[in-house]
Every structure is written in C-alpha cells, then in structure tokens.
Structure 1
Amino acid sequence: MTGFPAVTRLLPGLAAAAAAVVVAFAVHTLVPAVPLLTASVALGILVAQLPFARAWLDGPLAPGLHFAAKTLMRAGIVLLGLKLSLVDIGRLGWLAILVIVALVIATFFGTWWLGRMFRLPGDEPLLVAAGFAICGASAIGAMGSVTGSRREEQATPVALVTLCGTLAIAVLPLLQTPLGLTNLEFGHWVGAGVHDVGQVVATAQIAGPAALAIAVVVKLTRVLMLAPMVAGASLVVRRRSAGATASGRNENEGETRRPAIVPLFVAGFLAAVLLNSFVVVPAPVLAGADAVQTVLLAAALFGLGSAVRFATLVKTGARSLAVGGLAWLLVAALALAAVRFA
C-alpha cells in the first residue's frame, strides 16, 4: 500500500499524455504526411506555451509527464529493437554498414563540437549530437537517462531535432531531382540523414516503395548505434563520478548517480534485436509490439515537448538555432557523401 499514493500522483500526467497521443493520432490520420511522433512532441511544445496550462504542467501533471518522458521512453526504446533484424541490416553489405557507422560517429562528434563551440549549456551539446546523429528525440531521451539530464535540459534539443526533422519532410524531396538522385539513392540519403523514424517514412515514401524500403533499413541501422553510443556515454559518466568521489567531491552523489556501464533499457533493446534476428516472431506479435512502442514513444515525446518554454529558449535561441541549422546541414551533407561513396 505504501506505493499507492506515488502511483496516484502519476495518473493525472499519464492521462494527459494519453489524451495527447489520441489528439496526435487524429492529426496524423487527417494529415498523413505529419508523423505521429512529430505531432506528439509538437503538441507538447504547443501546450507548454499556453499560460493557463503551465500551472498544470508544472504542478499536478508534472510527476506523470516526467514518468512518461523517462520510463515510457525507455520501454519504447526496448520495443524499438523488434523493428531491427541483423539479417536485413546484413543485406546492405559490409561497405554500406561501415559507411553508416562512420557517418553516425562523424555526425555525432561534429554536432557535439558545434554545440560546444556555440556554448550551449549543460549537457545540451551531447543531447543535440545524439538526436541529430542517431534517432531524434528518442536518442535524446536515452542519452539524457544516462547523463542524468533534467527534462528541462532535454527540451531545447528535442525542439531543435523536431524542427529540423519536420523541415526535412518538405525540403529533401525537392532536392532529389536537382541532385540527380535515383529513387534508391534518395531513400538511402533520407535514411542516413533524417532524424526520427517517422520522419524518415514520411519523407522517403514520396519517392515510392523502393525508396521507402531502403530508407527504413538504413535508418534502423543508425538506430542500432544507439546502444554503443549510450553505453559509451554511460562509461564516461561513471569515470567522472568515480573521479569526483576519489577527489573527495560529492562522494554521496557519485555513489548514487553512477549509471550502469550498459543501462538496462539498452540491454533490453539489444535483446529485442537479437530476438527478432534469430527467432521467428509471429507477425501479429510484431504488429502489436510496434503499436505499443509507438504509443509509448508518443506519450514520452509529449512529456519531453511539454518541458519546452520559449521564454527560456530565447535566452540561448540564436545559438541553439545556429547549432540546429548547422547540424542539419552537416548531417545532410555527410549523408549525401555517404550515398555517393557507398
């Protein structure tokens, strides 16, 4: 019974997130070009700017929205692994896989450097790098879990990756003909250069089913990089915590906040990938898991979006927008180079 009051504190925020998912699904149904996850985070950002809503978001809804942004995000990422198959990835060929891995690493550290150069505060450079290089807001939530970043710290990176990913849906198809890309090359470019899975689908489907198929496989190969990148960040955080403890600073904090080398949700993500690779999972089970995963991530992204405050964003607005725009150009340019090379 001791946990019942804590559970009841979560219910208002979780109910708000569930209602937001329903609204986002309605938007996606009416305008299929708008991915459900993009609609969810955009709705959270929009609601957070309404003066009468802020008291609720920062008050009775806060515990549930924080739970959604953190715990539901982790659960959704675990289920995201069931979309991946090592067999499908292997069909790309070793050269293409190595190029994708190199692309993720280059865009991650390039974007991180941009964030540091423009002096984004706190963990924002790392979070922006994860979002642009790997898989959008989901990667930001995953990276924020191991760095201990507050939901408010994740708000600006989520806003940037959502803005740029949404612009990609409109801009990239216009560039296919001028760049002389075939449908397969365009799909490869979209999969390598667009951030969120839903945004990849919305962008690539314009060029037809062949472009969509290759885009999804390339994108999910990038998603697989989430595990080693998050595990690497976790190891860095552990070493810093151990160093702080050894030097006598924040000893208690260093002991309590030190993350696991491989966070449990990352291990679950990898287990789901291996399960889908080596076990024949019934199609209805995969379809059900996909639906649950989409709902969980949509609720989590609404929770993250609801932490965005434009008044706060304005303080670093010019720098943040500059980093977002330059990171978008960097990822798109390197992805295009990868298409030409592979």
Structure 2
Amino acid sequence: MSKNLFFAGLIFAASGLLSPPLALAAGLAFGFTFEHPYHLDAKRLSKLLLQVSVVGLGFGMNLQQVLRVGRSGLIYTAAGITFAMLLGWALGKLLAVKGRISFLISAGTAICGGSAIAAVAPVANATEEEIAVSLGTVFALNSVALLVFPAIGTALHMTQTQFGLWSALAIHDTSSVVGASAKFGAVALAVGTTVKLARALWIVPMSVGTALVQKSKAKIQWPWFILFFCLASVANTYVGVFQPAYSVLRHLGILGLTVTLFLIGTGISKRTIREVGVRPMLQGILLWAVVATGSLALIRAGWISL
C-alpha cells in the first residue's frame, strides 16, 4: 500500500494539481504515516531534481534583474551568514551540543540548509549520525517555514520584494525559499530565488575555510547548478528567439520543484524527529527564530531593502 501511495503522490505532484506547499504537506503526511519504501532513492532523486529545477527556473529570470538583486543582496548575505555562524556557535556551547553537529546546523541555517550541510560535512569529518541529526533538524524547520512564511507575509501586508528578500535570508533550503516565494507572487519568486542563490555561493568559501581549519583533504563539492542557472538567465535575456521553449522549461522547473518538496516531505518521519534529539533541535529552533525575526524586523524598518 505504501508503494502505491508513494507513486500516487509523485504523479499528483508532477501533474501540477498540487501546489508546492500542498506537495510538501502530502509528503509529510506520508512520511509520518508509512515506512518509506524507497528512502535512499528518493533522497538522491530529490537532491538532483532540486538542482535541475532551479536551472529550469532560471529560464524565467531576467539577467539584469538577477545581477541587480545579487549585488544588492551581497552585503546582507555576508552579514547574515557571519551573524548566524557566530550565534550558532554560542548557542551550541550554551546547550552543550556536540561540536560538529552544532557547526553543521549553523552552516545549514546560515547558508542554504541541506546543500550546505552536505557540502561542508565531508571536509568537517562529520559522521553519518552527525549529518543525519543536522539534516533532520534543518528539514523539520524547513517544512514549518514553507507553510508559515506566506501566511505571515500576507498578515503583515509585506510587498513581494520584501517577502522574497525575507524568505531568502531566513529560510534554510533553496527549495523552500522557492516554494514559499512562488506562492506569494512572481516578483517575490524572482527576488527570493536570486538572493538565495547568491547566498548559496558561500558554500564554496565555507567549505574551503572548513578544510583549512580541519586540515581536511576531502573533496569540496562545488555548486555547479548555480552556473547553469545564470546561463539560463543569460539565454532568457538575450536569446529571445527560443522564448516559447523557455516558458516550457520554466514550467517544468516549477513542476520539478513540486516533486522535490513531496520527496523531501516523505523523508521526514517520527523516527527522524526522535533521532535529532532535544538539544540540536532546540539550537536549530532558537537560531532560526532569531535569524527570521531579526531579518523581518530589519526589512520592515527599511534597514534592509533592494
């Protein structure tokens, strides 16, 4: 029965009948109710599909807008990452969370969730258990953000630009940023995706810095999909003859994102929550709460804007 329901969920997500938040909710319902029949395969597929989907969304972006937003968001991104890493370190010490787990949760919150954790974990010499705990914490909070952020943005009458910027600075994973901002509007999606991808570029210096500190020889994972996202934006901006094809590719990117969110949801179960434990989860919640509320307050006050 679980296999049939899993494939039914995939079909519904890929058909476009489910919005990204509903796809995630359906995945979570499955993960909390049934034993996942294809846990490892779904995890690998969601990682690849996320990257491909982001490239597809690039065909709906204007390069000039991408560059403008990217330059404007660079300072906020750098300051936000520095603040999140320092606060995460302090909270980890206060709550007596194991060093590598604390570092991975901080990196995931500061940069781009699971992608950052996956990139820095090998160079930090993290164990499978430490990676699993960190990913579980980030994915659980991602699910909450995707469902809650649009409601908060609507209640506070935020502009689409404000909401896109807030999502990019305060939500962990790229998939959840895209899902939340897409629900809020096209401008929010453009701003959120661009600033988030600019933030994701910090995976590289973070990985290099970690390798130097740890004296690790592990291979650094480069976020190549960001380059292809930029190339897709270039094509959409300057090679207009293929515009009908770009619209199709962008739509496929949205469908791919919806499927990705369903797959991520199915990977979160009661066992995942239990394995995370109280202290790492508390560190992740407190760190995320400070980052989210602090960035929201600064955006609302006009201190952070594009």
TM superposition score normalised by structure 2: 0.74
- Residue number in structure 2 paired with 1:73: 50
Q: 1:226 Cα deviation (Å)?
A: 4.1
Structure 1: segments with no counterpart, 5+ residues:
1-11, 31-35, 131-138, 177-184, 206-211, 245-253
Q: 1:61 Cα deviation (Å)?
A: 0.8
SS at match of 2:202: helix
CA contact (8 A) 1:74 1:265 kept: yes
Is 1:112 paired with 2:76?
no
CA contact (8 A) 2:162 2:305 kept: no
Task: From the superposition, tell whether residues 16 and 335 of structure 1 become closer, same or farther in structure 2 (CA, over 3 Å).
Answer: farther
Question: Which amino acid in structure 2 is aligned with residue 307 of structure 1?
Answer: G
Q: 1:190 Cα deviation (Å)?
A: 0.9
Task: From the superposition, tell whether residues 127 and 228 of structure 1 become closer, same or farther in structure 2 (CA, over 3 Å).
Answer: same
CA contact (8 A) 1:192 1:222 kept: yes
Counterpart Cα distance in 2 of 1:80 and 1:151: 29
- Residue number in structure 2 paired with 1:170: 151
Question: Which amino acid in structure 2 is aligned with residue 230 of structure 1?
Answer: I
Question: Which amino acid in structure 2 is aligned with residue 319 of structure 1?
Answer: Q
After TM superposition, where is structure 1 displaced by more than 6 Å over at least 4 residues in a row? none
Question: Which amino acid in structure 1 is aligned with residue 150 of structure 2?
Answer: I
Counterpart Cα distance in 1 of 2:39 and 2:227: 28
- Residue number in structure 2 paired with 1:323: 287
- Residue number in structure 2 paired with 1:250: none
Is 1:126 paired with 2:90?
no
Counterpart Cα distance in 2 of 1:151 and 1:279: 43
Q: 1:311 Cα deviation (Å)?
A: 2.1
Task: From the superposition, tell whether residues 216 and 49 of structure 1 become closer, same or farther in structure 2 (CA, over 3 Å).
Answer: closer
- Residue number in structure 2 paired with 1:267: 227
Is 1:47 paired with 2:36?
no
Deviates more, 1:109-118 or 1:327-336: 109-118
CA contact (8 A) 1:188 1:339 kept: no
RMSD: 3.3
Question: Which amino acid in structure 2 is aligned with residue 236 of structure 1?
Answer: G
Q: 1:61 aligns with which of 38, 51, 55?
A: 38
Counterpart Cα distance in 1 of 2:238 and 2:87: 40
CA contact (8 A) 1:108 1:129 kept: yes
Question: Which amino acid in structure 1 is aligned with residue 83 of structure 2?
Answer: G
Q: Percent of counterpart pairs with the same letter?
A: 17
Counterpart Cα distance in 2 of 1:296 and 1:152: 26
Q: 1:311 aligns with which of 266, 274, 285?
A: 274
- Residue number in structure 2 paired with 1:208: none
CA contact (8 A) 2:161 2:191 kept: yes
Greater relative CO (CA pairs within 8 A, separation 6+)? 2
- Residue number in structure 2 paired with 1:190: 163
Task: From the superposition, tell whether residues 278 and 155 of structure 1 become closer, same or farther in structure 2 (CA, over 3 Å).
Answer: farther
Task: From the superposition, tell whether residues 237 and 295 of structure 1 become closer, same or farther in structure 2 (CA, over 3 Å).
Answer: farther
Q: 1:227 Cα deviation (Å)?
A: 5.0
Is 1:294 paired with 2:254?
yes
Task: From the superposition, tell whether residues 147 and 292 of structure 1 become closer, same or farther in structure 2 (CA, over 3 Å).
Answer: farther
Counterpart Cα distance in 1 of 2:7 and 2:236: 28
Provide, for residues 58-108 of structure 1, a one-character-per-residue CA deviation record: whole Å limited to 9, x for no partner. xx4123112213222232233333233222346x6xxx7644222222233
CA contact (8 A) 2:84 2:110 kept: yes
- Residue number in structure 2 paired with 1:87: 64
Counterpart Cα distance in 1 of 2:282 and 2:88: 12
Q: 1:110 Cα deviation (Å)?
A: 2.5
Provide, for residues 179-210 of structure 1, a one-character-per-residue CA deviation record: whole Å limited to 9, x for no partner. xxxxxx7222112112412312323x5xxxxx
Counterpart Cα distance in 1 of 2:47 and 2:305: 38
User: 1:191-340 to 2 correspondence within 5 Å?
Assistant: 191-194=164-167, 195=171, 196-203=177-184, 205=185, 212-213=186-187, 215-226=188-199, 228-240=201-213, 243-244=215-216, 254=217, 257-260=218-221, 262-280=222-240, 282-308=242-268, 309-316=272-279, 317-338=281-302
Task: From the superposition, tell whether residues 295 and 151 of structure 1 become closer, same or farther in structure 2 (CA, over 3 Å).
Answer: farther
Counterpart Cα distance in 2 of 1:169 and 1:301: 16
Task: From the superposition, tell whether residues 341 and 199 of structure 1 become closer, same or farther in structure 2 (CA, over 3 Å).
Answer: closer
Task: From the superposition, tell whether residues 68 and 97 of structure 1 become closer, same or farther in structure 2 (CA, over 3 Å).
Answer: closer
Provide, for residues 251-293 of structure 1, a one-character-per-residue CA deviation record: whole Å limited to 9, x for no partner. xxx3xx4125x44333333332333333226333222212322
Question: Which amino acid in structure 2 is aligned with residue 142 of structure 1?
Answer: S
CA contact (8 A) 1:66 1:151 kept: no
Structure 2: segments with no counterpart, 5+ residues:
123-130, 172-176
